[in-house]
């Protein structure tokens, strides 16, 4: 089975995918866990798209190719270690692959987003929004300091530990243009305090691209603005695709997706799951005058390339 | 959370259309907008040089129809304007938007497939300076097929040729300098007390907004409506100016908007002692293709701000 999955992953990696992104200075899980104290997490502000599609892209990548799926995988351990406090729902199967992302912004404080563990050969890939990793455009700034994924986070509890990033990347078009139609990023994380890989600890969602936009999604995330507090995982279950944002037509890349889900800041990067286990979009943005609907990037060829690069990181 | 981009883009486009000879310089956008706008659908377009291309024709019934490229979209604009007011419906579709080719399908309203042809005599090239940017305009004709029939046939076109142009930037040029008096007037206007009423309604990806700003000298009204139908987005905008039309009572618990054409009717704002607000009335607007479009009702959230 493992061989089958591995071959599936290797076949799925698009030809020509090259390693890129940025390496993150090594941080141990223990150090990351200590750094992200309850106080710092409380201070963390949601990361937002700073300049929506500030500069428009110069080249392609938005074409739709053949649909492709990579199956998810269950965690190696079914029970939680005694070292970790058990929490209720976020740690349950199907939810534990989703978590909160925290990052230090230097003198600007701390930022937060959401993310989802995705199955890959290196067992350590997290998908999130690109703006949770890089501010976008040609002058985009990498947000890599203390970038840490905490799956199933709840009220300070980290039932599966903290996973500091080792490598970060976004779609190339996000870094070239800042077009929100390409607002997807990926991280490869280190092991947790118990020495487990992310996939050993929580499993990983499958991932699919080039599917029809007309899907029904379970939208996960950690919204942190009123009336939410970012301390619990939220879900909008079985919310169908309702259309595209008119703004999306003006910018390069595949038209984005809209669903009805009242998320707000902090939920950026939260996974959109189809058929119970397959990641097919992530939360990108909403509008200040109305938090519903929620907009997410379409997973096309550029996301496939990003996945390929992340999966190749050793 | 973020601001709307599409409406800003179209407004900027319309601002320029007001004084440019639109038939000759379609889609000529001010320099404050991103200059490099290239299509994504179909084969990627080489990055240089950036361009804007398209044409404008008379749509009858006082409508002007403009087709131009903007980034990944081909935009078809139907606009009507007169002194003090303007209304436009813009149809955005993905397609092929290369300098010499316009191809897109506007849902079941029509489609375009045209190629640019330079003039037979001369090179048709001229140079203009706008907003500090020198632009080279290659004039010629678009040849092919363009048919469009607006909602309920409010505008109907079936063309095989239209005069148009391709505009490319060619460096910087001398800026238009404001006089000291103009600068002072502008700064003064920034600090002028303004009353504002903003109301919006959203259902899914369909959004309707109305903004009214009242200063000492005049009141401006801006209504917009956005919707998508599959791979077609429609954005409608209407603006009007008037010396009056925005009344607020002394207690700031009641207000009324009665804008001039293309608006009709009156919208009523009411604030209750418990803080609840309502926006009701028969206020509507005539967008091209969507007459008497309602701008008030229970679905609208409303915000009123009045300076002390």
Contact B203, B294 (CB under 8 A): no
Pairs across A and B, CB distance < 8 A: 118
Distance from CA of B19 to the nearest CA of A (A): 24
Between CA A36 and CA A20 the distance in angstroms is 27
Which residue of A lies nearest to B39 if distances are taken between CA atoms? A252
Which residue of B lies nearest to A47 if distances are taken between CA atoms? B1
- Does B92 contact A245 at a Cβ distance shorter than 8 Å? no
Check A250 against B73: CB less than 8 A apart.
Answer: yes
Find, in chain A, the residue whose alpha carbon is nearest to that of B41. A63
Instruction: Please state, in angstroms and rounded to a whole number, the distance separating the CA atoms of residues B202 and A261.
Output: 13
3-state secondary structure of B91: strand
- Give me B117's structure tokens: 């042809």
How far apart are the C-alpha atoms of A192 and A84, rounded to whole Å? 11
pLDDT band of residue A78 (cuts 50, 70, 90) is very low
Say which of B9, B36, B46 has its CB closest to residue A250: B9
Check whether A231 has a pLDDT greater than 50: yes
Q: Are A170 and A187 in contact (CB under 8 A)?
A: no
Q: Which pLDDT does position A50 carry in this prediction?
A: 60
| Pairwise CB contact (< 8 Å): A249 & B73 | yes
Residue A177 DSSP SS3: helix
Q: Which residue of A has its CA nearest to B92?
A: A249
Q: What is the mean pLDDT of residues B189-196?
A: 78
Tell me the chain A residues in contact with residue B231 when contact means C-beta distances shorter than 8 Å. Answer: 244, 255
Q: Do B228 and A287 touch (CB under 8 A)?
A: no
**pLDDT tens digits, residue range A11-59?**
344 433 334 788 888 788 888 888 998 889 888 888 877 644 433 333 3
Tell me which chain A residues have a C-beta less than 8 angstroms from the C-beta of B203.
Answer: none
Residues of A in Cβ contact (< 8 Å) with B94:
249, 255
pLDDT of residue A58: 31
Residues of A with CB under 8 A from a CB of B: 48-49, 52-63, 242-247, 249-255, 258, 260, 264-265, 285-293
d(CA B207, CA A278): 31
What one-character DSSP code corresponds to residue A232?
S
**ipTM of the complex model:** 0.75
8 A C-beta contact, residue A266 and residue A114: yes
φ, ψ of residue A109 in degrees (nearest 5): 95, -140
Span A251-258, average pLDDT: 88
Contact B302, B280 (CB under 8 A): no
- Chain A residue closest in CA terms to B209: A289
Q: What is the mean pLDDT of residues A232-244?
A: 90
Test B40 with A252 for CB contact under 8 angstroms: yes
A181-185, B1-5, B59-63, B173-177: the lowest-pLDDT one: B1-5
Among A56, A245, A253, whose Cβ lies nearest the Cβ of B36?
Answer: A56
How does residue B9 score in pLDDT terms, banded at 50, 70 and 90?
A: low
Residues in CB range of B89: below 8 A, 6 or more apart: B77, B78, B79, B150, B234, B235, B236, B287, B288, B289, B290
Mean pLDDT of the residues in chain B:
81
> Å from A239 to nearest chain B CA?
12
Residue B21 pLDDT greater than 80, yes or no = no
Whether the pLDDT of residue A198 is over 70: the answer is: yes
Position A124 pLDDT exceeds 60: yes
List chain A residues with CB under 8 Å of B205: 242-246, 258, 293
Average pLDDT of A83-99? Answer: 67
**Cβ-based contacts of B49 with chain A (< 8 Å):** none
Of A270, A276, A277, A272, nearest to A299 (Cα)?
A272
Q: Work out the minimum CA distance from B29 to partner chain A, whole angstroms.
A: 14
Q: What pLDDT digit, counting tens, does each position of B29-44 carry?
A: 333 333 333 333 333 3
List CB contacts (< 8 A) between B301 and chain A.
289-290
Q: Please tell me the distance from the alpha carbon of residue A297 to that of residue A265, in angstroms, as a whole number.
A: 16
Residue B180 CB contacts under 8 Å (≥ 6 apart), including other chains: none
CB atoms within 10 A of CB A126: 30
Q: In what order do the strands lie in the sheet with B246-248?
A: B246-248, B254-257, B267-271, B277-281
Q: Residue with structure tokens 């990498």?
A: A142
> Smallest Cα–Cα separation from B83: which of B266, B262, B251?
B262
Measured on CA atoms in the order A84, A87, A90, A95, is the torsion positive or negative?
A: positive
Residue B78 pLDDT: 95
Q: In what order do the strands lie in the sheet with B263-264?
A: B263-264, B284-287, B290-294
Tell me: pLDDT of A295 over 80.
yes
pLDDT digits (tens, 9 = 90+) for B235-287: 999 999 988 889 999 888 999 999 999 999 999 999 999 989 999 999 999 99
pLDDT number for residue B53:
85
Helices assigned H by DSSP within chain A: 2-12, 29-35, 38-43, 172-177, 198-202, 301-312
A93-105 pLDDT per residue, tens: 889 999 999 999 9
Query: Token pair for residue B98?
Result: 């290369």
Residue in the structure block whose two tokens are 């106080």 = A39
* Distance between CA atoms of residues B136 and B127, nearest Å: 5
Q: What is the pTM of this model?
A: 0.79
The conformation of residue A73, written as its DSSP 8-state character, comes to B
Classify residue B96 as exposed, middle or buried by CB count within 10 Å of its CB (0-12, 13-18, 19+): middle
Q: With contact defined as beta carbons under 8 Å apart, do B45 and B62 qualify?
A: no
In order, the DSSP letters of B205-216 are TEEEEEEEEE-S
**Contact of B240 with B259, CB cutoff 8 Å:** yes
Strands A257-259 and A290-296: antiparallel
State which residue of chain B sits closest to A55, comparing Cα positions. B34
> Cα separation of B192 and B16, whole Å?
25
Q: What is the pLDDT of residues B67-96, one digit of tens each?
A: 988 776 889 999 998 877 889 999 999 888
pLDDT of A39 reads 87
Note the pLDDT of residue B226.
Answer: 92
Lowest-pLDDT range of A60-64, A144-148, A164-168, B224-228: A60-64
Nearest to B110 by CA among B64, B139, B136, B76: B76
Alpha helices, DSSP H, located in chain B? 6-19, 180-190
Q: What is the pLDDT of residue B259?
A: 94
Average pLDDT for residues B8-24, to the nearest whole number?
47
Nearest to A60 among B6, B40, B226 (CB): B40
Most confident among A172-181, A187-196, A251-260 (mean pLDDT): A187-196
- Give the C-alpha separation, B139 to B119, whole Å: 7
Q: Token pair 């996301």 is at which residue?
A: A303
Q: Is the pLDDT of residue B111 over 60?
A: yes
pLDDT over threshold 50, residue B116: yes
- Whether residues A243 and B205 touch (CB distance < 8 A) is answered with yes
Q: Which residue of chain B comes nearest to A256, CA vs CA?
A: B231
Highest mean pLDDT out of A81-90, A137-146, B30-39, B261-270: B261-270
Collect all residues of chain B within an 8 Å Cβ-Cβ radius of residue A59.
38, 44-47
> Contacts of residue B6 in chain A, CB cutoff 8 Å?
246-247, 249-250
Q: What SS3 state is found at B9?
A: helix
CB contact under 8 A, A245 and B207: no
Q: What is the mean pLDDT of chain A?
A: 82
């Amino acid at each position: 089975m493992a061989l089958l999955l591995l071959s599936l992953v290797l076949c799925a990696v698009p030809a020509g995918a090259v390693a890129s992104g940025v390496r993150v200075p090594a941080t141990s899980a223990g150090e990351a866990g200590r750094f992200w104290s309850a106080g710092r997490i409380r201070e963390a502000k949601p990361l937002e798209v700073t300049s929506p599609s500030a500069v428009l892209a110069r080249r392609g990548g938005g074409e739709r190719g053949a649909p492709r799926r990579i199956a998810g995988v269950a965690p190696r351990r079914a029970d939680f270690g005694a070292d970790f406090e058990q929490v209720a729902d976020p740690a349950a199967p199907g939810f534990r692959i989703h978590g909160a992302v925290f990052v230090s912004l230097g003198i600007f404080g701390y930022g937060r987003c959401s993310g989802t563990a995705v199955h890959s050969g290196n067992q350590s890939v997290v998908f999130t929004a690109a703006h949770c990793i890089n501010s976008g455009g040609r002058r985009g700034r990498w947000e890599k300091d203390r970038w840490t994924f905490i799956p199933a986070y709840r009220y300070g509890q980290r039932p599966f530990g903290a996973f500091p990033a080792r490598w970060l990347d976004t779609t190339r078009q996000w870094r070239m243009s800042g077009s929100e139609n390409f607002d997807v990023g990926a991280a490869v994380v280190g092991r947790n305090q118990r020495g487990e890989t992310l996939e050993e600890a929580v499993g990983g969602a499958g991932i699919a691209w080039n599917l029809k936009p007309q899907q029904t999604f379970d939208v996960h995330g950690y919204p942190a603005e009123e009336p939410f507090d970012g301390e619990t995982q939220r879900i909008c279950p079985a919310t169908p695709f309702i259309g595209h944002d008119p703004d999306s037509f003006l910018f390069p890349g595949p038209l984005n997706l809209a669903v009805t889900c009242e998320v707000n800041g902090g939920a950026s990067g939260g996974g959109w799951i189809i058929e119970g286990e397959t990641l097919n979009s992530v939360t990108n943005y909403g509008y200040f005058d109305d938090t519903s609907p929620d907009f997410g990037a379409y997973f096309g060829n550029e996301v496939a390339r990003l996945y390929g690069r992340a999966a190749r990181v050793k | 959370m973020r601001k709307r981009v599409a409406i800003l883009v179209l407004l900027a486009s319309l601002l320029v259309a007001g004084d440019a000879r639109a038939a000759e310089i379609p889609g000529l956008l001010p320099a404050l907008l991103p200059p490099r706008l290239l299509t994504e659908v179909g084969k990627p377009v080489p990055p240089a040089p950036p361009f804007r291309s398209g044409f404008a024709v008379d749509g009858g019934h006082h409508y002007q129809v403009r087709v131009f490229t903007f980034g990944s979209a081909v935009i078809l604009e139907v606009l009507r304007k007169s002194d003090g007011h303007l209304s436009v419906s813009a149809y955005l579709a993905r397609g092929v938007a290369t300098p010499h080719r316009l191809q897109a399908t506007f849902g079941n309203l029509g489609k375009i497939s045209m190629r640019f042809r330079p003039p037979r005599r001369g090179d048709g090239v001229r140079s203009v300076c706008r907003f500090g940017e020198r632009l080279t305009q290659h004039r010629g004709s678009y040849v092919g097929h363009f048919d469009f029939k607006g909602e309920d046939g409010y505008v109907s076109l079936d063309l095989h040729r239209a005069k148009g142009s391709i505009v490319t930037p060619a460096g910087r040029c001398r800026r238009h300098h404001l006089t000291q008096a103009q600068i002072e007037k502008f700064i003064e206007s920034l600090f002028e007390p303004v009353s504002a009423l903003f109301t919006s309604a959203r259902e899914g990806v369909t959004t309707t907004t109305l903004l009214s700003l009242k200063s000492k000298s005049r009141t401006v009204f801006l209504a917009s409506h956005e919707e998508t139908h599959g791979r077609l987005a429609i954005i409608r905008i209407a603006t009007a100016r008037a010396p009056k039309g925005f009344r607020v009572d002394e207690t700031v618990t009641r207000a009324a908007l009665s804008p001039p054409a293309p608006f009709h009717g009156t919208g009523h704002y009411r604030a209750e002692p418990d803080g609840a607000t309502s926006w009701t009335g028969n206020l509507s607007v005539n967008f091209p293709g969507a007459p008497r479009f309602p701008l008030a009702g229970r679905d609208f959230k409303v915000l009123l701000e009045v300076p002390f």
